[in-house]
């Protein structure tokens, strides 16, 4: 069996967790608890393009909030 996370011909989802972190997820696997569907299902490249266009700050949201509150 091939790796479902590396199949260029499969359909994928883009998921986001409470920390604002994105994940490319195979559409054939149930979405894990704590993650919400943001985009898809679509081709792997379309999902990667969505992530690239929408995830500008890779820091977890809790770190962003802590950094902002420390600067005030």
Mean pLDDT, rounded, for 45-65 = 92
Band (49; pLDDT cuts 50, 70, 90): very high
Mean pLDDT, rounded, for 48-58 = 94
Band (47; pLDDT cuts 50, 70, 90): very high
Mean pLDDT, rounded, for 38-43 = 98
DSSP code at position 4: T
Strand partners, 13: 25
Q: How far apart (Å, rounded) are the C-alpha atoms in residues 33 and 31?
A: 7
Q: How far apart (Å, rounded) are the C-alpha atoms in residues 65 and 33?
A: 23
What is the model's pTM? 0.85
Does residue 1 register a pLDDT over 70? no
Q: How far apart (Å, rounded) are the C-alpha atoms in residues 56 and 70?
A: 21
């Amino acid at each position: 069996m091939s790796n479902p996370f590396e199949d260029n011909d499969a359909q994928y989802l883009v998921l986001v967790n409470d920390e604002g972190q994105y994940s490319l997820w195979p559409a054939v696997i149930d979405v894990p608890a704590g993650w919400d569907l943001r985009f898809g299902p679509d081709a792997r490249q379309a999902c990667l393009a969505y992530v690239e266009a929408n995830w500008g700050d890779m820091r977890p949201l809790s770190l962003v909030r802590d950094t902002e509150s420390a600067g005030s």
